[in-house]
Amino acid sequence: MLIGLMADSHDRVPAIRELLERMIERGVGMVLHAGDYCSPFSLAPFLELNVPFAGVYGRNDGDREGLKAFAAKGVGMELYESPHSIEVGGRRILLVHDLGEVVSRSLEAHEVIVHGFTHTQEIRELESGATIVNPGEACGWLYGTPAAAILDLDTKHVEFISLTEPAWKV
């Protein structure tokens, strides 16, 4: 099973939509989002493209009630406080905005940890075998390139995707 990973979308709706469309083309069945949507309208592409997702709030998600109400418009759209533990495809996944919010024992209790906050793509493995992934910034505001990732739950292989075309540069 392939799932999309996204974080730090910060209201850049066209980039969110394009990343979701590229995920759908690759066969992604759902998306996990590690927070910082910012405004409720940034969830519109998920709803319009009928992409199920689970996500946590980030530090820049000021209108949490508005985000929750917008997510409730769709089927399979869930928002949680960070951190949140979820099981998808038989894998125990920890979804967190800032890794500083959790202790190492919690990290080691999961097979996959998805986080955001730093806006930088990262993949590393803990001694416990857990894989930590930061899909990068979906917005591209800080580093100039909107990015996300695709996780194969069967193999734990991660493919990073980036919108590198000139039109996406900020």
Q: What is the mean pLDDT of each run of 10 residues along the chain (170 residues)?
A: 97 98 97 97 96 96 93 92 96 97 92 97 95 97 96 97 92
Determine the pLDDT at residue 20: 98
Determine the pLDDT at residue 75: 84
Question: In the chain, where are the structural domains located?
Answer: 2-168
Closest CA to 99 of 85, 113, 109: 113
Determine the pLDDT at residue 85: 97
- Helices and strands counted in the chain (H then E): 4, 11
Determine the pLDDT at residue 26: 97
Determine the pLDDT at residue 169: 85
pTM over 0.85: yes
CATH of domain 2-168: 3.60.21.10
DSSP code per residue over 74-115? STTEEEEPSSEEEEETTEEEEEES-GGGS-HHHHHT-SEEEE
d(CA 136, CA 5): 9
Integer-rounded Cα radius of gyration of the chain: 14
d(CA 92, CA 71): 23
